[in-house]
Amino acid sequence: MESMKEYWNIDTDAGILLQALLFTHQPKNILEIGTSNGYSAILMAEVASQYGGHITTIEFSEKRIALAQTNIEDANLSEYITILQGDAAEVLSKLSASSPDLSSRAVTRDPDNATWIPGQARNDGMNHHAQHFDLFFIDASKKDYLDFFNLCMKIASPHALLVFDNTISHKHALAEFHEAMQHNKKIQILELDIGDGLLIAKLL
């Protein structure tokens, strides 16, 4: 599958970096915000499928979800990708409500509203509604980046990585986000001039 501008897919270099992060860190649970047609989820699943990782990806457009499902099926990666339909901030709030704290990994309760669209039914004994994530890839509405960050922090594993796309291309729109990142003592940040600019935050 090729990166397509009309679906705002990440470019090849950003894809290489994402795949390299997965190869080296092997995060088990990955959360993407902004599925579009599934391009970046598929790239990540190509690697995650090799070590037992799983991608959960959030998208609010039904049309794009349908397209992503077709592309994921065509790539034979349905088993490794779960699409959640809904507004990302709402879905993240529900995920954090169902994952109270890191010391309690027991299953709690399902979020009520988000529509869960498994790429393929999974039967691995894990509850995918109540869990923490080891790597986040955030590539959706820029005005919400700071909210996304705060919500992701609630469901992040210790030392999780958060990767934000478009942090250079949308530098001005993301001024408040950048400021908050720079002053946050719980993270270490690194910004890379790759693709549209990727900011990587590592939880300390």
Ligand X SMILES: C[S@@+](CC[C@H](N)C(=O)[O-])C[C@H]1O[C@@H](n2cnc3c(N)ncnc32)[C@H](O)[C@@H]1O
Nearest approach in angstroms of CB 61 to ligand X is 4
Q: Tokens 């959960």 correspond to what residue?
A: 56
Nearest approach in angstroms of CB 125 to ligand X is 29
CA–CA gap between residue 43 and residue 178 (Å, rounded): 27
SS3 32: strand
Q: Which residues contact ligand X (rule: CB under 6 A)? A: 8-10, 34, 36, 39-40, 58-61, 64, 87-88, 139-141, 144
CA–CA gap between residue 108 and residue 185 (Å, rounded): 30
Which residue lies nearer to ligand X by CB, 64 or 94? 64
Nearest approach in angstroms of CB 98 to ligand X is 18
**174 within 8 A of 149, measured Cβ to Cβ:** no
Nearest approach in angstroms of CB 128 to ligand X is 18
CA–CA gap between residue 129 and residue 96 (Å, rounded): 9
**The two structure tokens encoding residue 79:** 């088993």
Q: Tokens 């820029």 correspond to what residue?
A: 142
